[in-house]
C-alpha cells in the first residue's frame, strides 16, 4: 500500500504512482482510436448509420453508475473489515504482552516471557504470509527456536499452530504455579480473539465477490464505453474522442479500483500495508517487553507494501 501525506490539489492531478491509470492506458488508447474511427466515418459502419443519441446513453450511464457504486461499496467494505481485523490484532497483541509481563513469577526461569513474545511476533508474521501465500521462513526463523520452527514450518495453517504453542506456554505456566486460573482464563479470552481475527481474514480471502456478478458488470461497462462514441459523434464531432476517454476512464477506473481492494491482503498499491503493520505490531510488543525488535526498517516514509 502507498502511504502519502495529503498533497496539494494540483499535484494530485498528475499523480501516477499508486493510481490505476497505468494499467488502464492500453484500454483507454483503444477507445480513443475507436472514437477517432467513428468520427472519421461519421458514425457509420458499412454504410449503415448507427442510430444512437445521447439521451438513452445518459439514462443507461446513470444506472451503470449506481451499479458501480454498489460494487465499490462491497469491495471497500471488505477492505475496511480487513483493516479492522488487523487493528484488533494490534490491540490483542498488546494485551497478551502486558499479561505475560505482569505474571506473579515472571522472573522464573521455568517460564520464559521472551519465548512467549517470540511466539506472538511469529504469529503476526505467519498470518501475513498465510494471507499472501508467501514463504514465512525468513521471518519465522529469527522468532522461533528449534524444534518449534520445524513444527510450524511442517504445517499448512501456521498461525493456528503458533496459537497452540502459546496456549501450551500458558498451560505450562499454570502447571508450574506461575499462572493462576484467573490469569489462564484471561489468556484464553485473548487467544479466542486471535482465532476470530484469523477466521475473519480467512473468510475475506476464501469468499470473493460472486464471479457472475463481476462478469456482468465488466461486460456492461465495456459495452457502454464502446457504444458511447456512436451516441456523441453527431453532437460533439472531433471532441468525441476526448469526452469518450474521460467518461471511460471514470467507469473503468472505478471497476479497476474495486477489483484491487476487494482482496485487501495482497501486494498491490492500494492493498493494506501488511508489512508496515507487522513491523509496527512487532515493535510495540518488544517495546513493552523492553527488548530490541527483530526487524526495524524505516517505515516513516512513503512505503510500497
Rounded Cα gap, residues 83 and 242, in angstroms: 38
Find the helix or strand (DSSP H, E) in which 45 lies: strand 44-45
Could you tell me what percent of the chain has a pLDDT over 90?
45
Q: Provide the domain count of the chain.
A: 2
Residue 302 located in a structural domain: no
Within-domain flag for 298: no
Residue 282 has pLDDT above 90, yes or no: yes
Q: How confident is the model at residue 155, as a pLDDT?
A: 94
Q: Are 216 and 255 in contact (CB under 8 A)?
A: no
144 lies in some domain: yes
Answer yes or no: do 217 and 202 share one domain. no
Average pLDDT of the chain? 85
Model pTM?
0.83
Higher pLDDT, 266 or 293: 266
Q: Is the CB of residue 143 less than 8 Å from the CB of residue 153?
A: no
Task: Among 39-43, 189-193, 218-222, 259-263, name the one with the lowest average pLDDT.
Answer: 39-43
Give yes or no: residues 146 and 197 share one domain.
yes
Side-chain-side CA neighbours of 28 within 13 Å: the count stands at: 19
Helix boundaries (H) for the chain: 9-12, 21-40, 54-101, 113-132, 137-140, 148-153, 158-175, 181-206, 211-236, 240-261, 274-288
> Is 140 a residue whose pLDDT tops 70?
yes
Do 113 and 132 sit in the same domain of this protein?
Answer: yes
Q: Say whether both 34 and 66 belong to one domain.
A: yes
Residues 53 and 148 in one domain: no
Residue with cell 446513470: 62
Look at residue 293 and tell me if it is in a domain. no
Residue matched to cell numbers 494490534: 90
Residues 120 and 278 sit within 8 Å (Cβ to Cβ): no
User: Do both 274 and 195 map to the same domain?
Assistant: yes
Range of the structural domain that residue 96 is part of: 87-206+270-288
Residue 239, domain member (yes or no)? yes
Q: Taking a C-beta distance cutoff of 8 angstroms, is the pair 125, 160 a contact?
A: no
Verify that 165 and 213 share a domain, yes or no.
no
Same domain for 97 and 148, yes or no, is yes
Residues 165 and 283 in one domain: yes
Place 299 in a pLDDT band, splitting at 50, 70 and 90: very low
Looking at the domain assignment, is residue 300 inside a domain? no
Any domain includes 303: no
| Position 253 pLDDT exceeds 80 | yes
On whether both 192 and 249 belong to a single domain, the answer is no
- pLDDT over 70 percentage in the chain: 88
pLDDT of amino acid 5? 65
Per-residue pLDDT of 112-134, as tens digits, reads 788 999 999 999 999 999 999 99
CB atoms within 10 A of CB 49: 12
Q: Tell whether 153 is covered by a domain.
A: yes
Rounded CA-CA distance 258/254 in Å is 6
Query: Which of 91-95, 144-148, 287-291 is predicted with the least confidence, judged by mean pLDDT?
Result: 287-291
| Confidence class for position 4, pLDDT limits 50, 70, 90 | low
Query: Is it the case that residue 14 has pLDDT exceeding 70?
Result: no
Q: What is the pLDDT of residue 193?
A: 96
Residues 281, 168 within the same domain: yes
The closest of 299, 278, 289 to 86, measured between CA atoms, is 278
Classify the C-alpha dihedral 129-135-140-146 as positive or negative: positive
166 and 278 both lie in a single domain: yes
211-236 and 54-101 helices, crossing angle to 10°: 140
Q: For the residues 25-35, what does the mean pLDDT come to?
A: 91
**Contacts by 281-287, CB closer than 8 A, 24 or more apart:** 281/89, 281/90, 281/93, 281/124, 282/121, 282/124, 282/125, 284/90, 284/93, 284/94, 285/93, 285/94, 285/97, 285/117, 285/120, 285/121, 286/117, 286/121
Amino acid at each position: 500500500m502507498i502511504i502519502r501525506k495529503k498533497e496539494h490539489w494540483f499535484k494530485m492531478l498528475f499523480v501516477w504512482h499508486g493510481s490505476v491509470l497505468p494499467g488502464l492506458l492500453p484500454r483507454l488508447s483503444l477507445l480513443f482510436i475507436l472514437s477517432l474511427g467513428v468520427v472519421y466515418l461519421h458514425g457509420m459502419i458499412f454504410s449503415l448509420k448507427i442510430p444512437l443519441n445521447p439521451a438513452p446513453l445518459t439514462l443507461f450511464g446513470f444506472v451503470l453508475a449506481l451499479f458501480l457504486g454498489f460494487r465499490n461499496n462491497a469491495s471497500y467494505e471488505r477492505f475496511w473489515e480487513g483493516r479492522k481485523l488487523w487493528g484488533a490484532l494490534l490491540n490483542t497483541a498488546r494485551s497478551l504482552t502486558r499479561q505475560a509481563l505482569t505474571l506473579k513469577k515472571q522472573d522464573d526461569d521455568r517460564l520464559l516471557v521472551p519465548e512467549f513474545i517470540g511466539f506472538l511476533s511469529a504469529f503476526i508474521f505467519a498470518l501475513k504470509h498465510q494471507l499472501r501465500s508467501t514463504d514465512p521462513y525468513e521471518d519465522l526463523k529469527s522468532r522461533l527456536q528449534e524444534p518449534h520452527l520445524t513444527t510450524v514450518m511442517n504445517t499448512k495453517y501456521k498461525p493456528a499452530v503458533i496459537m497452540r504453542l502459546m496456549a501450551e506456554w500458558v498451560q505450562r505456566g499454570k502447571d508450574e504455579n506461575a499462572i493462576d486460573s484467573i490469569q489462564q482464563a484471561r489468556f484464553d479470552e485473548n487467544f479466542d480473539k486471535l482465532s476470530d481475527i484469523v477466521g475473519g481474514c480467512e473468510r475475506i480471502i476464501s469468499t470473493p465477490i460472486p464471479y457472475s456478478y463481476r462478469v456482468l458488470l465488466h461486460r456492461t461497462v465495456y459495452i457502454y464505453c464502446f457504444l458511447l462514441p456512436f451516441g456523441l459523434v453527431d453532437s460533439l464531432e472531433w471532441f468525441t474522442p476526448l469526452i469518450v476517454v474521460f467518461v471511460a476512464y471514470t467507469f473503468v477506473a472505478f471497476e479497476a479500483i474495486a477489483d484491487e481492494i476487494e482482496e485487501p491482503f495482497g501486494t498491490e498499491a492500494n492493498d493494506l500495508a501488511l508489512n508496515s503493520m507487522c513491523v509496527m505490531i512487532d515493535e510495540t510488543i518488544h517495546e513493552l517487553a523492553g527488548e530490541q525488535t527483530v526487524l526495524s526498517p524505516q517505515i516513516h516514509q512513503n512505503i510500497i507494501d
